[in-house]
Structure formats: C-alpha cells, structure tokens
Amino acid sequence: MTTRRVAMIGSRSQHFVERYTPTIENEFERMIKYKGKEYLVQILDTAGQDEYSVVDRRYINEMDGYVLIYSVTLRSSFELVRVIHDKILNALGVERVPIAVVGNKSDLHMQRQVSKEEGVALAKELDAAFIETSAKYDENVTKAFESLLAEIEKQTAPDPKQRQSSCIIA
C-alpha cells in the first residue's frame, strides 16, 4: 500500500471531512483505491485557516499534493485559490506541484457565485485537476482525492510519456 500526504487548503464546509477517520488534530485518513492500487491518504486539514498560516513550511514540505478548496457560494474564497497556489510555489521554490482545485457546495445552486466554467478555467491556468463537490451529499468527495492522486502519480511517474496534462472532471 502506498501512503500519500495531502493538505486541504482554503474554504470548506465543516462536512467535507466528516466521513473520514480522525487521527490527531486536523488530520484525517482515508483508504482510496485508484487504478487498482490501494492508497492510504493522510489528509492535513488546514482549510478555514488564513492563507498565511497554511503555507507554513511545516505543512508544505511534507505534502505530496494539495487540495485547494473554494466555496462556489463565495467569490472571495475562489479568488483566494490563486493566492494560495502562488504562496505554495514560492515556499517550495518550484514551478508546479500536484494540485486539485475543488469547488465545494455545488448543491447550493441558488447561492452560486462562481460558475463551473470559471473553476475549470482556473484549474487549467494552474495546471491542476478540477472537480466540484457537495460534501453535504458526499458527491464527488472521493473523486476529488482520486483526481489529486492522478496529479501526484503523474508528477512522480518515471516515464515522461505518463506526464500528460491535468484532468478536469466536469
């Protein structure tokens, strides 16, 4: 079994991780089967903290990938995704890291402030995977982590042919 450490950063509802097994404060684990392989995904939940604390090197250096979350009902959380992305790259001194951009609260259609198309465009700009979720209804939550695993495995793949453009689940 392969272990991957990921950080959830940005805006989220309190329900996003409720189905995960808590370990220590702000950390969760989830078993995910991806492409026939078992992964233990250790999730550091920094979502909801301010953007300056989440780029602390204690968190950043230990991660294999990042889930950047915004609420589709809050434009300011969407705008923060690019800021957080840039802070991660600057902290690590790299040009690219495995990222999944996740638009949460997709079930709140009447309160939507950010379109799916805007989320897709941002993910493409950041060379990241994209998916919208409804944590309340457990819709696409596992797929969000699967899309991040795809990004992680692409980056760690020894064969350059396996490193293709990011996936977008619309």
At 116-157, the pLDDT tens digits run 999 999 999 999 999 999 988 889 988 999 999 999 998 877
Alpha-carbon 57 to chain mean position = 18
Q: Taking the model in full, what pTM does it have?
A: 0.82
Measured between alpha carbons, how far is residue 46 from residues 12, 107, 111, 133, 153 in Å? 10, 23, 25, 18, 23
CATH superfamily of 2-12+24-156: P-loop containing nucleotide triphosphate hydrolases (3.40.50.300)
